[in-house]
């Protein structure tokens, strides 16, 4: 193998770590959303750059060499830490899930929602529901089909009102706070 000449390219190191985590080139290619051939090329490039063999190949199975184990011990946790750090910023405060009665959504919220999205284009509204408080008559078909469940038998009669609720600790996240301020301004200035 050739002597190393410079630092290894990050993409090749990422491919190596993905193979170590997935246990195969194919698994790594799925994780990286590239072809298995591209992963194999990156592994060969890394081995050439470092001047060591990182895997021994037994048919389709790859086994780490001593040098491969040493590199894996250093780069896999480091890349995982980077992914966690960056992922925390990506996931934190950019998603807002809203669950509500369809009649309220259709007649009041949806006609106004574009104004919220213009003010906050980086906040993504998702259609997947988490927990919702709703009159069971509105979801009879979903309950019968097993798509939704009633996890708690508590039933509370409510007056004619709508409530904005959130999980404890979420009130200070940027999406919830922004939506709460926007909703208050819509109600205050429009009615």
The domain limits of the chain are 10-90, 95-190
| Domain 95-190: CATH class, spelled out | alpha beta
How many angstroms separate the Cα of 50 from the Cα of each of 7, 42, 45, 71, 186?
Answer: 8, 12, 9, 10, 61
Residue 36 in tokens? 């298995």
Sequential DSSP letters for 98-119: ----HHHIIIIIHHHHHHHHHH
Residue 44 in tokens? 């060969």
> Residue 40's closest CA among 63, 59, 64, 24?
24
From first to last of the 191 residues of the chain, give the pLDDT tens digit.
Answer: 555 555 678 999 999 999 998 888 888 888 888 888 999 999 999 999 999 999 998 877 789 999 999 999 999 989 888 887 776 666 554 667 777 777 777 677 777 778 887 887 777 767 447 555 566 676 777 778 877 777 666 666 666 666 777 777 776 677 888 888 888 888 765 44
Q: Please tell me the CATH code under which domain 10-90 is placed.
A: 1.10.10.10
Q: What is the pLDDT of residue 104?
A: 72
Q: What is the pLDDT of residue 82?
A: 86
Q: What is the pLDDT of residue 71?
A: 95
Q: What is the pLDDT of residue 19?
A: 92
Task: Kindly report the pTM of this predicted structure.
Answer: 0.47
């Amino acid at each position: 193998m050739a002597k190393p000449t410079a630092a290894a390219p990050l993409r090749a190191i990422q491919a190596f770590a993905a193979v170590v985590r997935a246990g195969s080139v194919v698994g790594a290619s799925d994780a990286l959303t590239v072809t298995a051939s591209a992963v194999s090329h990156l592994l060969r490039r890394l081995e050439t750059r470092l001047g060591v063999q990182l895997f021994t190949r037994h048919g389709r199975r790859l086994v780490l060499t001593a040098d491969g184990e040493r590199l894996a011990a250093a780069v896999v946790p480091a890349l995982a830490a980077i992914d966690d750090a960056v992922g925390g910023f990506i996931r934190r405060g950019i998603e807002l899930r809203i669950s509500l009665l369809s009649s309220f959504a259709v007649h009041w919220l949806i006609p106004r929602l574009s104004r919220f999205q213009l003010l906050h284009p980086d906040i993504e509204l998702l259609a997947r529901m988490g927990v919702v408080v709703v009159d069971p008559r509105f979801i009879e078909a979903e309950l019968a089909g097993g798509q939704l469940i009633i996890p708690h038998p508590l039933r509370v009669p409510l007056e004619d009102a709508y409530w904005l609720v959130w999980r404890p600790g979420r009130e200070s996240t940027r999406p919830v706070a922004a939506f709460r301020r926007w909703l208050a301004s819509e109600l205050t200035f429009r009615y």
